[in-house]
Amino acid sequence: MINLYKPAIDQGIRMGIISIIVFLGIYAFDPLFFAKPTGMLTMLIVNLLALPIVFMILGARNTKANFTPYTFGNAFNAAFFTGIVSALIVLVFNIILITLIDPTWEQSLFEESMNTTETFLSDSGLSQEDIDESIAKATESYADQPKGALGAIINTGKGLVWYLIIALIIGAVQKDKKTEEELI
């Protein structure tokens, strides 16, 4: 069965590696870029839209030749396997990053995002009291969130839910249309 989905697995490996390369390029330029609105938007577009959509479509498309007919289940599995493989590669990288390479990065990122938030709220005309209350709530919420390897695992799980949704759409689009017509 793994051989049938090898094209999808290969695309997942590519997606994971490219995601890490993009991250490292930005991280080398400015490790706290991700705490800024532009950085958050960049990572949202790259990691939640562009890379998953492109590579999951390629994974499903390249796997199609291994199945006759190419059912919704086959297309869904191929797309989702692509996402799972990528997520696992990125998870391993993230755990290494936040536990060995830069253990203070998560805290620094949070502090920078609070500075950015405070500046934004101040520019919006909020009173200092309201700003302080908002920052205190965000700090309390951050303190309650899992960090380190556990936080990375939980975030990967959330990402897999997104990949599941994308895979459902890709599966519906990529399946053979003849199968539907034969059933009617």
The pLDDT tens digits for 38-97 are: 998 998 899 999 999 999 999 999 999 999 899 999 999 999 999 999 999 999 999 999
SS3 78: helix
Give yes or no for residue 179 having a pLDDT over 60.
Answer: no
18 alpha-carbon distance from chain centroid = 12
Report the pLDDT value the prediction gives residue 126, as an integer from 0 to 100. Answer: 84
Report the pLDDT value the prediction gives residue 142, as an integer from 0 to 100. Answer: 87
Average pLDDT over residues 98-121: 92
Q: Is residue 148 left, alpha or beta, with left meaning phi > 0 and alpha meaning psi from -120 to 50?
A: left
Report the pLDDT value the prediction gives residue 77, as an integer from 0 to 100. Answer: 97
* CA dist 146 → 31, 37, 85, 159 (Å): 21, 23, 23, 16
Do the beta carbons of residue 84 and residue 160 sit within 8 Å? yes
The pLDDT-based confidence of 177 (bands split at 50, 70, 90) is confident
Of the candidates 62, 57, 56, the residue with the CA atom closest to the CA atom of residue 4: 62
Report the pLDDT value the prediction gives residue 22, as an integer from 0 to 100. Answer: 95
**Over the stretch 10-19, which tens digit does the pLDDT of each residue have?**
999 999 999 9
Report the pLDDT value the prediction gives residue 10, as an integer from 0 to 100. Answer: 97
Average pLDDT over residues 15-38: 94
The pLDDT-based confidence of 144 (bands split at 50, 70, 90) is confident
